[in-house]
């Protein structure tokens, strides 16, 4: 059974000033990214939350337009060719949810914590798995919590088999959620999704200590980042490398060491993540970036290693 992450175009919006919110037929409420969306992004600032970022279409050539965030996101943060859409897991703002959306929730729970999941989807999930839904987040035998539902969806979207089978369809429509066959399947996929979510949100406990190190003194300026893999020639010499390196400049030959090729080539929404991170810094010095990291925007922070 399939469930759309967003409704067909014929669905009617519930409208209020400066926003249009759609209740999804099967999974999450979505919002169009048209101007500041305080009614949506506020759910990521008013409580501990997580949101799925994806797109209605994908023109990048590969189905990699999925990411997550715990803070407000830019309009094209997960899809480079079109606009991204943000799906908060929880609706935390009473002004955004009161009498506006029909959300499946525990009536005994605080009114400011509501699951941004449709009753139809949760009912189908319960029928397939036999698991109840616990909004409180306490969890336990025989129930699932909102975070587990999110992690299941996230894990499914990062399945290479899922992307291989449905990548063509996702070029022209929102991704769909395939219901699990039983509770153990849901739990197994959710466990993988949880680990990915924690990695992508840079949870220190999940990331651990990175083997990557920044080598060699110099200007610390980023100019034409270049990757050289193991066995390839070191930049400016004829020595074969025993490790993967990301060179940040040619003049000083400064580099990040022990970077696997698959990490350098990793993409989200058509963006090559490491290249994009470096390219955004242009000719800026890492030293200046470190000084401004405490007060500057998130994109000015240096690579954690």
pLDDT tens string 153-176 = 999 999 999 888 888 888 888 888
Does residue 176 sit in the same domain as residue 218? no
- Tokens matching residue 39: 């009614």
Percentage of the chain with pLDDT > 90? 30
More confident site: 198 or 174: 198
Q: Which of 11-20, 26-35, 259-268 has the highest mean pLDDT?
A: 259-268
Question: Is the alpha carbon torsion for 204, 210, 212, 215 positive or negative?
Answer: positive
Does residue 60 belong to any structural domain of this protein? yes
Q: Is residue 305 part of a domain?
A: no
How far is the C-alpha of 29 from the C-alpha of 70, rounded, in Å?
A: 17
Question: What angle do helix axes 183-200 and 146-157 make, rounded to 10 degrees?
Answer: 80
Q: Are residues 287 and 187 in the same domain?
A: no
Domain match, 184 and 252 both: no
Q: What average pLDDT is seen over the chain? A: 75
Residues 253 and 276 placed together within one structural domain of the fold:
yes
- Residues 48 and 195 occupy one common structural domain: yes
CA distances from 271 to 128, 162, 304 (A): 36, 20, 19
In a domain, 146, yes or no: yes
65 and 100 in a single domain? The answer is yes
Per mean pLDDT, which range of 26-30, 39-43, 157-161 is the poorest?
26-30
Same domain, 148 and 274: no
Task: Look at residue 20 in the predicted model and tell me its pLDDT.
Answer: 25
Lowest-confidence segment of 19-23, 132-136, 139-143, 221-225 by average pLDDT: 19-23
For residue 135, being part of any structural domain is answered with yes
Tell me, yes or no, whether 16 and 127 share the same domain: yes
Closest by CA to 105, choosing from 97, 114, 96, is 114
pLDDT given for residue 6 in this prediction:
36
Inside any domain, residue 140:
yes
Q: Is 192 in the same domain as 251?
A: no
Q: Which range is most confident: 41-55, 73-87, 99-113?
A: 41-55
For residue 284, what pLDDT band results from cuts at 50, 70 and 90? low
Per-residue pLDDT tens for 97-126?
443 333 434 434 444 568 888 888 889 999
Identify whether residues 162 and 282 lie together within a single domain.
no
pLDDT score of 93: 60
Q: How far is CA 270 from the centre of its chain?
A: 13
CB 165 within 8 A of CB 174: no
pLDDT band with cut points at 50, 70 and 90 for residue 57: confident
Exposed/middle/buried for residue 161 (C-beta within 10 Å: 0-12, 13-18, 19+): exposed
Q: Between 270 and 249, where is the model more confident?
A: 249
Query: Of the residues 163, 191, 207, which one is the last residue of a structural domain?
Result: 207
In a domain, 69, yes or no: yes
Decide if 138 is inside a domain. yes
Same domain, 13 and 121: yes
DSSP label at residue 11? P
The whole domain housing 119 covers 2-207
pLDDT value at 261 more than 50: yes
Task: Give the E-state strand segments of the chain in sequence order.
Answer: 2-4, 14-16, 19-22, 30-31, 51-55, 67-69, 84-88, 90-91, 114-115, 132-133, 143-144, 176-178, 213-215, 226-228, 245-247, 255-257, 267-268, 271-272
Instruction: Please indicate, yes or no, if residue 94 is contained in any of the structural domains.
Output: yes
Q: Which residues pair with 52 in a beta bridge?
A: 68, 87
| Of 193, 179, 247, 240, nearest in space to 216 by CA | 247
Question: Per the structure, how many domains does the chain have?
Answer: 2
Q: Which residue has the higher pLDDT, 102 or 265?
A: 265
Do residues 55 and 126 both lie within one domain? yes
The predicted structure's pLDDT at residue 22: 27
């Amino acid at each position: 059974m399939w469930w759309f992450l967003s409704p067909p175009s014929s669905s009617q919006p519930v409208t209020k000033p400066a926003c249009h919110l759609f209740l999804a037929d099967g999974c999450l409420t979505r919002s169009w990214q048209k101007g500041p969306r305080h009614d949506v992004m506020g759910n990521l600032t008013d409580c501990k939350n997580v949101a799925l970022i994806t797109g209605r279409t994908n023109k990048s050539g590969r189905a990699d337009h999925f990411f997550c965030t715990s803070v407000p996101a830019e309009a094209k943060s997960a899809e480079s060719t079109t606009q991204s859409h943000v799906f908060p897991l929880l609706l935390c703002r009473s002004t955004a949810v009161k009498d506006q959306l029909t959300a499946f929730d525990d009536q005994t729970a605080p009114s400011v914590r509501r699951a941004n999941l449709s009753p139809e989807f949760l009912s189908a999930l319960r029928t397939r798995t036999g698991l109840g839904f616990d909004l409180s987040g306490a969890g336990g035998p025989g129930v699932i919590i909102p975070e587990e539902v999110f992690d299941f969806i996230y894990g499914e979207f990062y399945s290479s088999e899922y992307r291989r089978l449905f990548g063509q369809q996702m070029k022209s429509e929102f991704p769909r959620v395939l219901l699990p066959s039983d509770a153990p399947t849901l739990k197994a996929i959710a466990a993988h999704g949880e680990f990915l979510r924690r990695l992508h949100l840079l949870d220190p406990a999940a990331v651990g200590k990175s083997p990557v190190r920044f080598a060699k003194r110099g200007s610390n300026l980023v100019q034409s980042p270049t990757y050289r893999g193991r066995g390839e020639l070191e930049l400016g010499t004829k020595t074969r490398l025993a490790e993967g390196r990301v060179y940040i400049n040619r003049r000083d030959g400064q580099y990040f060491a022990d970077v696997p090729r698959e990490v350098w080539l990793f993409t989200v929404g058509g963006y090559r993540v490491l290249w994009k991170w470096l390219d955004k810094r242009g000719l800026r010095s890492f030293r200046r970036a470190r000084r401004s990291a405490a007060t500057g925007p998130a994109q000015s922070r240096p690579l954690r290693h």
